Amino acid sequence: MDIGKKITALKKQKGLTTNKLAGMAGIAQSALRSIELGEKSPTIDTLSRILNALGITMAEFFDEPNQQSTLINPPKEELKIAHQLKELPPEKQREVEMFIRWQKYLMSENELAAVKMGN
C-alpha cells in the first residue's frame, strides 16, 4: 500500500487542497506534501492527525477487503497469540491490529528503499 497516494486520493475525494488538509491536521504543508510524494513516511501520530482530518480511522484506512490470508497452517505460537488477542477488549484488538499493519508498512518501505539503493 502506498500511504501517500492513498492520502492524496482521499484528499481529492473530499475536495481538499494540501494546504487545507495540512491546516486541519495541524501539520506543515511541506510535511504533508513529502508524505504524499512518498519522500517521507509519516509517524503514527502524524498519520492519525491526517486521517482524523479526513474523517476516517486507521482501521478504515488500512482495510483491504480483498486481502486473503496466506497462512493455511499457522505455527502453534501464532495460534496461541491469536487466541490471546481474541481475549482482549475490542479497542485493544484494534490497537494491536494497527500496530501490526504499521510494522508491515514500515517493512515494505525498508525493502523498497533497499531495492532503490541496489541492495
Q: Where are the domains of the chain?
A: 3-116
Among 34-38, 40-44, 80-84, the least confident range: 80-84
Q: Tens of pLDDT along 66-95?
A: 444 444 456 677 778 777 888 888 888 888
CATH superfamily to which 3-116 belongs: lambda repressor-like DNA-binding domains (1.10.260.40)
Helices then strands, counting H and E runs in the chain, come out as 7, 0
Residue 1 · residue 11 · CB < 8 Å: no
* CA dihedral (41, 45, 46, 51) positive or negative: positive
Q: Tens of pLDDT along 1-21?
A: 789 999 999 999 999 999 999
